[in-house]
Amino acid sequence: MTTRKKRTSFPPAPDFVRARDVPGCDLLFMPGWAWPVPEAFRNCIGHQWAVRVKDGRRTHGWVDSGVGAFHRGAVIYDHPAGYFLPLEQLRQAGVRYMIQIEPSAQDSENSSDEVTYQWYRITEDSGVELLDVGLRGCTQAQFIERLRRGMQPPVSAEAADRILIPQHLEPTPGGICIHYRSADGDFTERVVSKIVRSSPTRIEGFCHLRRQRRSFRLEDIQLAWDSMTGEQIDPDTLGS
């Protein structure tokens, strides 16, 4: 008996568009994404050229498979100008940060479901400065979601040393202290316990400051540490 393979239908991928208010830019980017992802990165964000069937007719076109594949050496900028202007013009054009995909901690090349990256700052003197925040790691799906929704560089090790553990954060068994940035850009420190991963980009837990369960975006957790020992914890590992 022959078993027929089940056909998977992916949704059509959106058309790339020109960047607005960027003089001299002829590149196309994903529409509506916080970080500009150029058309050259189609395959990296999971777009595939495939056969589509509509109204009984077979056509070819780009579909969104939902499976990303960023690899070592890829560079992503926080502004479209980063992809076509020379380095000495980037800061003036509005480019502030770039991210470079680095080798995976487990292998010389990134695994299919893991991406490791490093933050860099574009300096005032037309240079590139490595941020002292260490390598960051997440799944390919998490990384793509961060590009879509937006992300800010984490707190540097030097800045972390200047953040004192507030006296009101009492040691709590099983509790994690977090230095958190709200949607308005305000920072608070709070203890969160009973943490679970609610989505690839969020955790949920009981917030001892608000005295109720709350949801937190991982990219907005600038620092995390054990409330009992003070040991620093990588925010990306919370709830996993």
For residues 189 and 210, membership in a common domain is answered with yes
pLDDT of residue 170: 67
How many independent structural domains does the chain possess? Answer: 2
Provide the pLDDT confidence category of residue 112 given band limits of 50, 70 and 90.
Answer: low
For residues 101 and 162, membership in a common domain is answered with no
For residues 142 and 209, membership in a common domain is answered with no
pLDDT of residue 104: 57
Mean pLDDT for the stretch of residues 134-150: 82
What residues form DSSP beta bridges with 122?
A: 128
Task: Name which of 90, 10, 22 is nearest 53 in CA terms.
Answer: 10
For residues 32 and 135, membership in a common domain is answered with yes
7 domain-assigned: no
Are 135 and 118 within 8 A, CB to CB?
yes
What's the 3-state SS for 51-109? EEEECCEEEEEEEECCCCCCCCCCEEECCHHHHCCCHHHHHHHCCCEEEEEECCCCCCC
For residues 207 and 128, membership in a common domain is answered with no
pLDDT of residue 1: 47
Beta strands 128-130 and 136-139, pairing class: unpaired
With a cut of 50, say whether residue 4 has pLDDT above it.
Answer: no
For residues 138 and 213, membership in a common domain is answered with no
With a cut of 80, say whether residue 226 has pLDDT above it.
Answer: yes
202 domain-assigned: yes
Mean pLDDT, the chain, as a whole number? 81
Are 111 and 137 within 8 A, CB to CB?
no
pLDDT per position as a tens digit, 10-25: 888 899 999 888 888 9
- Identity of the residue numbered 213: R
Higher pLDDT, 106 or 190: 190
Q: How far is CA 123 from CA 91, 97, 126, 155, in A?
A: 7, 9, 6, 17
Mean pLDDT for the stretch of residues 69-89: 92
User: Residue 36, by phi and psi: left (phi above 0), alpha (psi -120 to 50) or beta?
Assistant: beta
For residues 28 and 89, membership in a common domain is answered with yes
Could you tell me the residue range of the domain that residue 56 belongs to?
A: 17-149
pLDDT of residue 197: 92
pLDDT of residue 5: 40
Question: Which of 42-51, 54-63, 104-113, 201-210 shows the lowest mean pLDDT across its residues?
Answer: 104-113
Mean pLDDT for the stretch of residues 169-182: 81
Mean pLDDT for the stretch of residues 129-151: 81
188 domain-assigned: yes
What does the alpha-carbon distance between residue 137 and residue 220 come to, in Å, rounded to a whole number? 15
Centroid of chain to Cα 105: 18
With a cut of 70, say whether residue 216 has pLDDT above it.
Answer: yes
